[in-house]
Structure 1
């Protein structure tokens, strides 16, 4: 600890503390304008200057660290006079009316405090732009603190704002376009968040929020922390929180895309479809109808004729109750969730090889890593805060290898970009492993202590030498070798992967092949390393972890091993039949064996691959229960009863993010109309089925406490701790600090892990003369999954439609240009899409997102599934194009 004296009072702080931080911690209010905790110190505004004994002139407290014995004075008459003079100079060209209109802006408060009136000599040549749906521009208020320039560079890494011109002619404006959006803005709002004057502002904040509530973002699996501001029971603004996950930053969806909550087509009354028409009913009618129909199916066909689907949109507590109801009330293990179609392959691979089916490392390790291997993941668009952190680390010198068919933003920054042909991940990863062994780039010590079956693996993988597989993979052998060398040399090297790895016929095996690379190089069990799936939805990790899986109970515990404990706590026997996963449910429904599905927060029809196949499964069902915010495609086409659910803004509970953090969500708004939280609805149905025992919880915390009783690795994660701590499980008791890094000394499967010999099996979905192009699908930055939430916000202005992205050479060959509508045909269906020509695409390959229900891209995708866990192969579809002339 270091001792210093502040205005005559001694204080002690840790060594290395910035002086401004120490002053603020001591309760001394030192003004500043150019400083933001998220940015490197600047000292340009000279407002935070203080007098330090031994220094000949005042020093900017934001730029120096405390020293032992330092004596500091913060508000001497000379300092206050200097601050007043600095303010007068800064305000010389500032509009007086701005101060009158918004007196609470930080800069305006400083002017009032020091009695400084703006000069009003306005610049006439400032940047003007009113085209952005969220970010307003009033650059006559710019005081050239450059916080917007710096935060765009140092936090987001977008480099949109620049200080243009010199000396008196310096102005802040986008450097690469005439507007914010044409200049590369990704609408994260960080520049707005840091601006002290209102030169940049949120256009949609019409009134200052009267209340702020901390919660967790509902979009991707990063789990950003944020505060939500409300006025008169309406969401008005969102601002970031400085948490270990997002470090005071948000993306366009988390910060701005919340208007869906007040959308005019939000359904807040229960409905039953009668004679083909939806009719509003009371909760009593809806619950009685639902329970009666479920019981009739159980009585006639048995409990295994019903399937229950949990939700990545719902809380841990609600998913726990969903699988508990399936097993304890209905009597079936037919319970699953949307993890099946995205990262169940990751969970299966990680659990099989290492013993725990989750990310091995924390996001905090990004700043420790010296190299990154990004495989089939596009984080700057799909997981933007993690993407920004990776980008910053790369800009600081970390090496980067990107495996992706497209030239994504991070691929453009990569030291090596392996533009692998879709469907050829296995030979590519095996070729990297072969390189590591051939060139002796393996970690011999780690192999000796922690890895088995190396000799057999070395013989097997030699057949995948880069020169042998380069042509089929579509990448040069030397590029494969270069990627392997960078990954091996990183030490530590951190691997992130996404759906470009998992959504293949060999998706699970693709993750296993990545684990091989980590085992060979010793990149497990230490900071800055690991194998880390980036989960797509906010609580997809939690939904599966809570037991929405046909073969696992809460905590990913096996039914055989943990079953007796669950039966003792629940006071009921578990079903003995093996449950069906989501895709098996679809098969059973088509075969007439499954009669009912209950899906909440999950648009099954729109989301599953091969829509015609899904329709054939859902059409004959006797009962389709949809529990959601909106009448989604599943409800509209096949629904029998609709149960209106609360949004995450309207309930309490917890989410689980991609790096194993359990984080609180909190009620921001009262319930609209007759909408109810999912946990309330599930319990009500249990009661109407005559089995209320175990479903009488009064609040989510009580549900969570039962979960902790059953899940040893989460026992220490009490609500009380979660209020103030950000913890990674395993956390077995309330004195445990959590586990940011798994497998430090041993794997969950034991001291050692075995290398897996993964033979390549080509997908049956191949191009030919009739279907000569390969289509892959994914998400874009402004939108999310089925667009249910994001398309009900102004994000629709940022990206109005899905597009069919293609290489310029393909566009020329087909006579297509930007905006042309093209009919895309596969072996399974067709879709009409507008063309976007982009250099990001390789010839012969196409890309589209799937956010617009009316375009219904999953009419195209195939019925090919992962060989081990049945995840659909969304990433490889052979198609042909037909120009429509539209």
Structure 2
């Protein structure tokens, strides 16, 4: 602790603090224009100058480190005069109309504070750009603080802005010299967020347009970024990033801008019942009474297991807890699942089987502590952009990077090693890496001796998987496999992230188990900067499964057989004894005529599932399809019989659970429109009509969460009171002092339920989906930066201008051979269906391989994907489909 005086008053500071931080913490109103806490200080604007006793001239407080005994004067007449002079120089060629139009801009407020008038036209014609749908550029307002340049470089890592020329002709412009649309900008908005003048600005709602601010959690990917939602007159008008350990004051293009859907004109705000080929608007009473009667009839005629219930990654933990309780206690079935089935259930299954806990082992805070990253089947800069930016920054500062992906993703450009594995060959590749680690003596012998079993048998099993033996089959040079194995094993701590490129295969679960083997061999578990960490695709997919939306486990991923007695005591009833069906088994049951009803909320099942033809056949067999959503999605349009209008994330309270096991608050910023209601209200109303008012009479999300904490010991310490101000990872059990710190890192001294883990011998089994002369290309599907899943939210706003359509990426050599040109519309045909897509010739894909996203409902790319599934978790194999391509 250091001691100093500020304007004669004693204060303390931490070693390494900048003087500006200390002054602001001491409530001194120090003006500053070039400073932003998210980037390194530059001291360029000279507005934060102060006097320090013993120093011959004023110093910039943002670049000055506090020292013991420092005596600071912050507002002497000389300092205030110097600030006035510096501000006058900045304003001399600044447009007065900008000040009049937006007086709340930080620079404009300072002009008013010091009585400085803007002077007029700039020194030279400045760069302006109207090309971007999210960001506007008016560099006649630029004061050369260079915050835009620094934040793009140091926070996002996109290097879009550049300082051009020198002297009085110095100006900021696109680094590539063209328009912002063509600059490599990813539309994160960080430059607009930091700009003090409006030289770069949001084309949508500006922060000044909001009259109320609400802290909440982003509704897109599973990173769990915190944001401040600005509203006015009952509508969301702007979103700003919040300073938080997850996102460090940063948001991506979806989290920051793609909120327009909330007030889209086609939002459904009234309950509806199917009436012939159309829909009939009804009251809540009629819709709920009709649905309760239909479910009772089906249960009475066909049994409780003829009904399936699907939780939602879009809904809160509280709502997912209630819906699985409804399935088990009201309907009487374990037929409950969620969209985790089609994405990361293989991750959870593999992690639980081998380590005891089916969740990420480490938190995002460890990114800055890792010495090496192993990215497997994930594309974070597009699909989890804030985590991607943090990884990129860590690599730019010296961390090693290995990327395992068939495509050359953005982060592959920064990698020391890119292993462009053949789709479907993940198990081969990771077995080969493990074989190299053992053969070359790179095993962490101490860790294995203390905590790992089965090394000798595992080494014998891997002799058939030497890199030279499997190189041709997995499509990667043996030397590169060995280099990656050496780098990962010798760069501890090494942190592994993986995505759907690992899990959406016939050996998805086993592929993740093969990754865990690598971490066990090298000791990259139980320590900061290491671990095996699935990047969850949706905001609360981790929470929906953890709350019990899974047929074989209850809340907290507790097996039914082990936790039955406790839940029955707390719930006051008997749990069903029959094995439940997962999502894919429900569809199989519907196709066979055994499942008669399905309730899905916040989940467009028809649009999302693989093999659309089979999905349509199954859904078409159902007697009752209840859809609970914001819009009439594709499932509702084609198969729905009941539609319940739900409140959005901006209109309800509760909690989400992100990828690194944080439980975070969601808060209503605006009221729901019309008769739309939160999911928890709808579930309770339906339960009461089916004779189960007791147990479904909570007065709000907090009361529901308090019951969750009772049935889930590992989350019992996560009270709403603590979640208001703390970012906590579960496990976080209750302690007498209510202050368990949470558990950012799992498996520090032992694995869940065991002191040792066993290496898993995973034989490679090729997918049945193979190319042949009729279907010579391998198609991989995935997400893109600008859109999300079925496009329900992102296509109802200006993101549609940033990426208007799904595109088929093809290697230049293949396009030349087929006589196809960029932008050509092509027909893509598989053994299961066909679609038409615009072609994009891309060097990021290898010859013989193709890639497309699946966001446009009208294109319905899942017409192509196969019926093959993960052998253990039943997750569809979205990542390998044999196709042919012809001109449309």
Normalising to structure 2: TM-score of the pair? 0.99
Deviation at 1:875, TM superposition (A): 0.1
Cα shift at 1:99: 1.3
Distance 1:396 1:802 in 2: 35
Instruction: Give the aligned partner of residue 509 of structure 2.
Output: 508
2:416 is matched with which residue?
415
Tell me, in whole angstroms, the C-alpha distance in 1 between the residues paired with 2:275 and 2:266.
Answer: 20
Residue in structure 2 matched with residue 92 of structure 1 by the alignment: 92
Query: Is 1:178 the counterpart of 2:178 in the alignment?
Result: yes
> Within the alignment, does 1:237 sit opposite 2:238 as a pair?
yes
Query: In 1, are the aligned partners of 2:123 and 2:168 still within 8 Å (CA)?
Result: no
**1:849 paired residue among 831, 850, 853:** 853
Q: Is 1:815 the equivalent of 2:819? A: yes
Which residue of the partner structure matches residue 498 of structure 2? Answer: 497
1:568 counterpart residue number = 569
Gaps of 5+ in 2: none
Whether the 8 Å contact between 1:589 and 1:617 is mirrored in structure 2 is yes
Aligned to 2:13: 13
- Counterpart of 2:703 in structure 1 is 702
Q: Which residue of 1 aligns with 2:790?
A: 786
Q: Hey, what does 1:48 align to over in structure 2?
A: 48
What is the match of residue 158 of structure 1? 158
Alignment partners' CA distance in 1, 2:53 and 2:441 = 58
1:272 is matched with 273
1:285-324 equivalence runs, <5 A: 285-324=286-325
What residue is the counterpart of 1:535 in the other structure?
A: 536
Q: Secondary structure at the match of 1:236?
A: strand
Deviation digits for residues 509-557 of structure 1, max 9, x if unmatched? 0000000000000000000000000000000000000000000000000
Q: What corresponds to 2:741 in structure 1?
A: 737
Deviations 1:699-754 (A, max 9, x none): 00000000000000100000010000000000001310000000000000311100
Are positions 1:101 and 2:71 aligned together? no
2:252 matched residue in structure 1: 251
Which one is further off, 196-205 or 793-802?
Answer: 196-205
Structure 1 residue 871 corresponds to structure 2 residue 875: yes
Residue aligning to 1:119: 119
From 744, 763, 779, the equivalent of 1:759 is: 763
Once the two structures are superposed, what CA deviation does each residue of 1:258-315 show, in whole Å capped at 9, x if it has no partner? 0001111110101111222211111111001100000000101110000000000000
- Look up the match of 1:673: 674
Q: What is the rounded CA distance, in whole Å, between the counterparts of 1:427 and 1:25 in structure 2?
A: 55
SS in 2 for 1:123: coil
Range with greater deviation from structure 2 (120-129 or 471-480): 120-129
Q: Which residue of 2 aligns with 1:882?
A: 886
User: Contact 1:123 / 1:140 at 8 angstroms: preserved in 2?
Assistant: no
8 A contact 2:453–2:759 mirrored in 1: yes
| 1:648 alignment counterpart | 649
Gaps of 5+ in 1: none
State how far apart, in whole Å, the 2-side matches of 1:8 and 1:462 are.
Answer: 74
Work out whether residues 652 and 664 of structure 1, in 8 Å CA contact, stay in contact via their aligned partners in 2. Answer: yes
Cα distance in 2 for residues equivalent to 1:400 and 1:423: 22
CA distance in 2, matches of 1:18, 1:264: 49
User: Is the Cα contact below 8 Å between 1:589 and 1:595 reproduced in 2?
Assistant: yes
Deviates more, 1:55-64 or 1:354-363: 55-64
The 3 A distance-change label for structure 1 pair 274 and 147 is: same
Q: CA offset at residue 177 of structure 1?
A: 4.3
Superimposed CA distance per residue, residues 481-514 of structure 1 (whole angstroms, 9 cap, x where no aligned partner): 1111111121100000000000000000000000
Helix, strand or coil: the match of 1:40? coil
| Greater mean deviation of Cα atoms: 561-570 or 198-207 | 198-207
RMSD: 0.8
CA distance in 2, matches of 1:177, 1:525: 47
- Kindly indicate whether the alpha-carbon contact (under 8 Å) linking 2:157 and 2:389 is maintained by their aligned counterparts in 1: yes
Name the CA distance, whole Å, in 1 between partners of 2:112 and 2:274: 62
Indicate the SS of the match to 2:851: strand
Contact 2:395 2:401 in 1 (8 A): yes
Task: Name whichever of 62-71 and 246-255 sits farther off.
Answer: 62-71
The residue matched to 1:624 in structure 2 has which SS? strand
Q: Are the equivalent residues in 2 in contact too, given 1:369–1:527 (CA < 8 A)?
A: yes
Q: Secondary structure at the match of 1:478?
A: helix
Pick aligned residue for 1:840 from 829, 840, 844: 844
Quick one: distance in 1 between partners of 2:168 and 2:278?
68
Bigger drift between 128-137 and 649-658 goes to 128-137
- What residue in structure 1 maps to residue 592 of structure 2? 591
Instruction: Look up the match of 1:400.
Output: 401
Partner of 1:28: 28
Q: Which stretch shows the higher mean deviation, 40-49 or 325-334? A: 40-49
Structure 1 Cα separation of the partners of residues 821 and 236 of structure 2: 41
Give the match for residue 442 of structure 1: 443
CA distance in 2, matches of 1:390, 1:817: 35
- Corresponding residue for 1:343? 344
Offset at residue 118 of structure 1 (A): 2.0
Number of the residue aligned with 2:546: 545
| In structure 1, C-alpha distance between the alignment counterparts of 2:124 and 2:135, rounded to whole Å | 21
1:347-362 matched pairs, under 5 angstroms: 347-362=348-363
Segment of structure 1 superposing worse, 336-345 or 667-676: 667-676
Structure 2 Cα separation of the partners of residues 557 and 462 of structure 1: 37
The TM-score, its normalising length taken from structure 1, stands at 0.99
Give deviations 1:544-596, integer Å, cap 9, x for gaps.
Answer: 00000000000000101111000000000000000000001111111111010
The answer to whether the 8 A contact 2:124-2:169 is kept is no
8 Å CA contact 1:353–1:749 kept in 2: the answer is no
Q: Answer yes or no: is the 8 Å Cα contact 1:291–1:689 preserved in 2.
A: yes
Indicate the SS of the match to 2:877: coil
Q: Give SS of 1:762's match.
A: coil
Structure 1 residue 636 corresponds to structure 2 residue 642: no
Q: Work out the CA distance in 1 between the residues paired with 2:106 and 2:586.
A: 57
SS at match of 1:285: helix
CA distance in 1, matches of 2:715, 2:559: 16
Alpha-carbon distance between aligned partners in 2 of 1:298 and 1:239, rounded to the nearest angstrom: 48
Runs of 4+ off more than 4 Å: none
Task: Give the Cα–Cα distance (whole angstroms) in 2 for the partners of residues 471 and 749 of structure 1.
Answer: 40
The 2-side partners of 1:255 and 1:760 are apart by 42
Distance in 2 separating the partners of 1:264 and 1:119: 44
- Partner of 1:792, secondary structure, is coil
Q: Secondary structure at the match of 1:847?
A: strand
Q: Is the 8 A contact 1:162 1:172 kept in 2?
A: yes
User: Partners of 1:243 and 1:665 in 2: how far apart?
Assistant: 14
